[in-house]
Structure 1
Amino acid sequence: MSYRTENIRNVALAGHAGVGKTTLFEALLHAGGVIQNMGAVERGSTQSDTDAQEKARGHSIDSCVAGIDRGNCHINLIDTAGHEDFRGATLCTFAAVETVAVVVNAANGIEHGTRRMMEHARERGLARLLVINKIDTESVDLQKLVDSLREEFGNECLPVNLPADRAGKVLDCFFHRDGATDFSSLADAHRQILDQVVEISESTMGAYLDAGEEALTPQQLHDAFEQCLREGHLVPICFVSARAGVGVGELLDIFDHLLPNPAEANPPPFRNAQNRQIAIDPNPQSHVIADVFKVINDPFVGKLSVFRMWQGTLRRDSQLFIDDNRKAFKVGHLFRLNGRTHVEMEQAIPGDIAAIAKIEDIHFDAVLHDSHDEDLIHLAPLPFPPPMFGLALEPRHKGQEQKLSHALARLSEEDPCFRVEHHKELNETVVRGLSDLHLKIMLERMRERYGMEVLTHPPRIAYRETIAGSAEGHHRHKKQTGGAGQFGEVFLRVDPLERGAGFEFVDAVKGGVIPGQFLPAIEKGVRQAMETGAVAGYPLQDLRVTVYDGKYHPVDSKEVAFVSAGKKAFLDAINKARPIVLEPIVDVEVSIPEPNVGDVTGGLAGKRARIMGTDARRGGERVIKAQAPLAELTDYPTELKAMTGGRGRYSLDLSHYEPVPPPVQRQLSEAWKPKLDDD
């Protein structure tokens, strides 16, 4: 390894689906001498789309890392998925890079994926680069596209090079200013970007005003340029045709000469146990600190943990710890990822992206380190979209529950937006993802990798039951079987409590008519009845049970008798206390383009939603805030996608429980009665 930390560049290619990121990734590897021949997405022969589903569908599902060496410079390049359904895998890579190159299709212009990736990168404090691809497309007005980018993302977006003609090359307009272009004079573009760069520093601006640009050395320009990127004062625009190879070498030059290295970039947002940001020293002599941003369960290599080195030097045979675990593990093999291949490496320095295999305890977002002398730290979490689309599933074949659990655990390790929930009260396993396509892909992977086939159905809604009034209940349990009998008699009262109060059990027995030793048995019977419900089979909540009278027999009274008496007395009271079914109400926040506001608010109103307000955001986006019953939102991801052309997104958070409308309660009760009769 001949490079140092200051020679490393870490760049993620991001953007909307179909802009040509994977083809650009392939072209950059070809121009950098990593591969001899470019693969094609259509043929399924690219370095990054290696998964069978990626080849079949013709687009990326996961991210892919490859390294390019250019002299002393080492570029870690990451191709990412553009589809919203797989945004989690894309955002994971933002924890490992200094720069995000947002790729734009010259023919389609700004799309919602462009906006989203620009915003995510800005929020993370990463340098941003706009790469206009497919510049050789017929009838494309590149000047108009540049103007729209500046209008959308700010005047800090400026070309760093310009296409000289459709056929062949692009011209640098930062260091050079002479030459003809298709849509603008190079001198004008040179002056614009130079004016933007020099104003970042008083000393640079002063030298420029006093003696012109001749007074500025290339190093001064580089330092000012890098500071502009780091502070968001400049978003360079560059031009390529990945398929034709136009501008690809020039883009590598930009990566090499102008992008920040790991020591120059904004400090990573590491925090200690008190949630205070702490400084990381990108020094190869310091303690090792690395962050795992990707986990791959490879059928041949085993579990592969991909991490970004932030501090220290990691060598093969080193001892590492995971988070606060005091048990160390040995690094037997250290890999560099190059698309389809894994290459052994001797050591990793700050800024490197590397991987280790077959360490089962490592998880996504784990911090790897070699010393417990320093504070336990973690990287600030990424803004992952909440997985809202759900499916309940069960093994197709009986006896495979353990195999299913293992497969789901493996899949959830790889994707932070794939969540597995086990609902004990509903006796359901539910998986959640970003869309129906996201879950479909994950279940296909489960079948292909682990031979696990499942049956799916919509998940049940976690309804609850409570009471609207007070009532008294009574039951005498008496059983004689020839020997010792069973006897217990209970009088109790139920009262409603406010929403969210839970359950209270009160002992108001006087005179020892029920000995204190039997009160826990009565409470046990009450809790059993609360779990199974009284109206529609859902747990009861928000009520008080007061036991105030009863009888016992000195010989026949036993715990089992009072469990039964308490349970049936409680059900007797509940049925008199106007039982009602409660449904979960969620806070809904929907982000959509301005033209879709009417359709979306009308759709929500048809789902018994209450619109709480709307907010305007930059880029013509509106945010609708509402409260709606969760049961009405089962198919909402698909509906929102259809209404907004895939540009809408939403989040849900549980707010509170409310009584369901009477027709819904009747429907739920009638559906439960047959099951109750069967029992």
Structure 2
Amino acid sequence: MDTQNGRRPSGSRCVALVGPYLSGKTTLLEAILFRTGAIARQGRVSDKSSVGDAAPEARAHGMSIELNAATTSYLGDSYTFLDCPGSVEFAQDQRAALAGADVAIVVCEADDKKAPALQLILKQLDEINLPRILFINKVDKSDSSPRNVLEWLQPASSKPLILRQLPIMKGSIVTGFVDLALERAFVYQEHLESKLIDMPADMAELEKSQRFAMLERLADHDDELMEQLLSDMEPPRDRIFGDLASELADGFITPVLFGSAEHGTGIERLLKALRHEAPGIAETAKRLGLKANGTTVQVLKTFHTAHGGKLSLSRVLSGEVADGAVLHGADGQDSRVAGVFTLMGSAPSKVQKAVAGDTVALGRLEAAHTGETLSTTRGNTPQLVTVETAPGVYGFAISVADRKDEVKLTSAIAKLCEEDPSLSLEHNHDTHEMVLWGQGEMHLRVALEKLQVKFGVHANAKPRRIAYKETIRKPVQIRGRHKKQSGGHGQYGDVVVEIAPLPRGSGFQFTDTITGGVVPKQYIPAVEQGVREWMGHGPLGFPVVDFGVNLSDGSYHDVDSSEMAFKTAARIAMTEGMPQCSPVLLEPIVQVEIHVPSDATSRVNQIVTGHRGQLLGYDGRDGWPGWDTVKAHMPESEMASLIIELRSATSGVGTFTFTLDHMAELTGRAAEQVVAGRKAEAA
């Protein structure tokens, strides 16, 4: 970025608003839109009048449940702001949106309890090296000074936090600020630009010391500035702003501003920082490694609208896009653009075309998906970023009352999953259920509401079944005979089978030791088929595993024997023999890795053991100062409420991954309850 010569980045900017839940991002967006003249009055989230959070589900719950975009202009420059949900349950939208942003405004409060949530967000920014500005919101409600706040914020940030302002206090109320780069003082005017005043006499000394501290940090990456400071020379103001811009773009620093979005204070200073210091599309394309000629766009979010069809919110990284343009994706599939729109929350406005830097919604790119890089170059488009999808941690079985609506349900869920890839639908073959997976209870509740309101599908949800199985403890030899005479050809099949347990994880094995043709070879496969058909529903009501069956003897009839007769004989043998083999229930055990702030580790250990879990150990989370990873084995049946309890114990930031590890015997009262529950279902 050529900041030393005073040239600002050209082209439209894309700014992501990120921050912990309830930090005030949507209110900040509203304040920015009002200050820039995009809206006539500043709405409020509480009275459901904001541009963002316009979806019925967001209004109903009073929270952001998906990405909101709004395009406005400030002093002749165009900006698109992406308001990202703060709840960890809806964080997938943020992951994809950050891929195309020039800079992130990290909105936070002077609340040390939210430091872990802030660290989660800053870690995401670090992973893609996205420049960020920290905006401390709600200073009108804080008892802590920004300098004190920085002391507990800094450990959450891998980048040095550079205080850009000092608060002017009147008693315990922040009435204005001193800009450390400009060396000027301002007082707030609610919903108006701050008013320039003389530097308060009692702040002159503090201003000088804090300004020098800011310059020292900038000089870490500017040798000439360091020499000027060592020589007690006053550096030119242009150099200071140049360093602020270049070191922000290079990821060396995180400037810190403050204000109150609700009262519209600190907004003008924030906008000016974006105008003069934030990188533009050229720097972003370089950071992403864009080398292609022609047009390249990055898909940030997918929307399915009631009347306009599919919209792909996209950042144009190079070239231009107009109606009718053909864009090619990662696998070479092409889509034709059917309309180019800017967004103001949920309201689209059609434009003729979009050029490099613009963030627009492109109509009906049916083959494109969120996180994908598209281009006008025919063939497989190289992908600039990889947007990781959070695995599901909470699921429930989903169904419709009328089976004829199942196709409609799966189609609607497919659209939901396209809008939010952290939702997924599993067809569980063991339990014969469709399971909708998501990031938490609220996440899935909102998904159900969208199914009904947006797609007209009323879905029933219930706790998902656990894929219990059963096995046997002792062997038995049993005869199964099927003989029936009903005129003409009868039915005759006679088998002797040996049923025996196998080591855990062996599955099922079928053998035969028939001699002398007592069971003809052509009927032996039918015996195995009969056993396999039976083993799906054992004496306890569950699929049977880890056992073997050997066909050792039997007899046949020249006329009445058939494959069906021997299959039936095998089922009879299994039905009579398996209850004699000491059947026992098996429950799935998963290995779980839980990631939590270190101060919550002891509570999490108690949660695990309270759910029949076996702790395997814990250690510091690699690359995450102040976090631990707890490893454990837990029964899958105990996992349903784990994410709810975990979030409660960690101020909403704990999460986990899990994989099936093994099957273990379940006995006693717990097993009796499971078996009784299955019998009740079958009744």
Q: 1:577 to 1:262 in 2, by over 3 A?
A: farther
- Please, which runs of 5 or more residues in structure 1 have no aligned partner? 270-278
Mapped contact 1:177–1:190 kept (Cα < 8 A): no
1:489 match: secondary structure: strand
Aligned length: 658
2:331 aligned partner, one-letter code:
D
Alignment of 1:132-281 (within 5 A): 132-137=136-141, 139-153=143-157, 156-165=160-169, 169-174=176-181, 176=183, 179-180=199-200, 185-200=206-221, 204=224, 208=228, 218=238, 224-265=243-284, 279-281=289-291
Post-superposition Cα deviations, 1:163-201, rounded to whole Å, max 9, x if no partner, equal 345565444323547845869833333322222223225
Farther-moved stretch of structure 1 (80-89 vs 490-499):
490-499
Say whether the 8 Å CA contact 2:115–2:156 is kept in structure 1.
no
5+ unaligned residues in a row in structure 2: which ranges? 1-6, 186-198
Residues 492 and 174 (structure 1 numbering): CA distance in 2 closer, same or farther, change over 3 Å? farther
Structure 2 match to 1:275: none
Query: What residue in structure 2 maps to residue 658 of structure 1?
Result: 664
Q: Is the 8 A contact 1:5 1:349 kept in 2?
A: no
Q: Does 1:521 align with 2:526?
A: yes
How many Å separate the matches in 2 of 1:127 and 1:265?
10
Q: TM-score, structure 1 length as denominator? A: 0.88
* Change over 3 Å in CA distance of 1:127–1:516 after alignment to 2: farther
Find the counterpart in structure 1 of residue 467 from structure 2: 462
- What is the CA deviation profile of residues 91-149 of structure 1, one whole-angstrom value per residue up to 9, with x for unaligned ones? 33222223222111236774432222122222232222210112223644333112222
Q: 1:602 to 1:674 in 2, by over 3 A?
A: closer
Give the match's secondary structure for 1:379.
coil
SS at match of 1:62: coil
Aligned residue type for 1:298: T
Matched AA of 1:297: H
Higher mean Cα deviation, 103-112 or 77-86? 103-112
2:416 aligned with 1:411: yes
Residue 72 (structure 2) aligns with: 68
Deviation at 1:19? 1.7
**Closer/same/farther in 2, CA of residues 646 and 675 from structure 1, 3 Å limit:** closer
In 2 relative to 1, CA 473–95 (structure 1 residues): closer, same or farther, beyond 3 Å?
Answer: farther
2:397 alignment partner, one of 384, 392, 397: 392
**SS of aligned partner of 2:558:** coil
The residue type paired with residue 299 of structure 2 is: V
How far does the alpha carbon of each residue in 1:483-516 deviate from its partner, in whole angstroms, 9 at most, with x for none? Answer: 1222222333344444334333334434443333
Structure 1 distance, partners of 2:89, 2:141, is 28
d(CA) in 2 for partners of 1:433, 1:199: 44
- Once the two structures are TM-superposed, the CA of residue 206 in structure 1 deviates from its matched residue by 6.8
Scaled by the length of structure 2, what TM-score is found?
A: 0.87
Query: Partner of 1:446: helix, strand, or coil?
Result: helix
1:7 and 1:72 in contact (8 A); partners too: no
1:292 pairs with 2:327: no
Shift of 1:594: 4.0
Taking a change above 3 Å as real, the CA distance of residues 610 and 560 of structure 1, as seen in their structure-2 partners, is: same
Change (3 A) 1:226 1:85: same
Hey, what's the Cα distance between the residues in 1 that align with 2:233 and 2:284?
25
- Counterpart in 2 of 1:484? 489
Write out per-residue CA displacement over residues 415-456 of structure 1, whole angstroms, 9 at most, x where no aligned residue: 222222222332222222222222222212222223332333
Which residue of 1 is the match for residue 643 of structure 2? 637
Residues 471 and 495 in structure 1, CA contact (< 8 A), matched pair in contact too = yes
Match of 2:611 in 1: 607
Report if aligned partners of 1:163, 1:182 keep a CA contact under 8 Å in 2.
no
- Superposed displacement of residue 5, structure 1: 7.9
Distance 2:512 2:236 in 1: 86
For 1:214 and 1:508, how far apart are their aligned partners in 2?
A: 97
Displacement of 1:578 in angstroms is 3.1
Measured at CA, do residues 224 and 509 of structure 1 come closer, stay the same or move farther in structure 2, by a change above 3 Å? farther
Matched, 1:124 2:128: yes
Write the distance in 2 (CA, Å) between the matches of 1:302 and 1:253: 37
1:251-307 deviation line (CA, Å, top 9, x unaligned): 0111121122233248666xxxxxxxxx422x6xx1433332312121132222222
What residue in structure 2 maps to residue 79 of structure 1?
Answer: 83
Equivalent pair of 1:388/1:432 in contact (CA under 8 Å): yes
Partner of 2:565 in structure 1?
Answer: 561
Q: 1:309 aligns with which of 302, 305, 316?
A: 316
Percent identity, aligned pairs only?
29
CA deviations over 1:222-277 (Å, ceiling 9, x no partner): 664455335542111111222222221110111121122233248666xxxxxxxx
Inter-CA distance 408–291: structure 2 relative to 1 (3 Å threshold): same
Of the structure 1 ranges 580-589 and 65-74, higher mean CA displacement relative to structure 2 is found in 65-74
The amino acid of 2:452's aligned partner reads R
Amino acid at match of 2:266: G
Q: Aligned partners of 1:563, 1:643: CA distance in 2, in Å? A: 55
Match for 1:233: what amino acid? F
CA distance in 1, matches of 2:577, 2:356: 68
Identify if the C-alpha distance between structure 1 residues 95 and 654 changes in structure 2 by more than 3 Å, giving closer, same or farther: farther
CA gap of 1:329–1:621, structure 2 versus 1, over 3 A, is closer
Of 497-506 and 189-198, the range deviating more from structure 2: 497-506
Aligned-residue CA RMSD (Å): 3.1
Aligned pairs for 1:518-597 (under 5 A) are 518-532=523-537, 534-597=538-601
**Which residue does the alignment assign to 1:272?**
none
Report the more deviating stretch, 106-115 or 60-69: 106-115
Q: Which moved more, 1:329-338 or 1:612-621?
A: 612-621
User: Does residue 1:346 correspond to 2:352, yes or no?
Assistant: yes
Per mean C-alpha deviation after superposition, the further-off stretch among 45-54 and 418-427 is: 418-427
Q: Does 1:623 align with 2:608?
A: no
SS in 2 for 1:390: strand
In the alignment, which residue of structure 2 is the partner of 1:90?
94
What SS is found at the alignment partner of 2:283? coil
Instruction: Give, in whole Å, the separation in 1 of the partners of 2:344 and 2:117.
Output: 26
For 1:273, the equivalent position in structure 2 comes to: none
Matched, 1:17 2:36: no
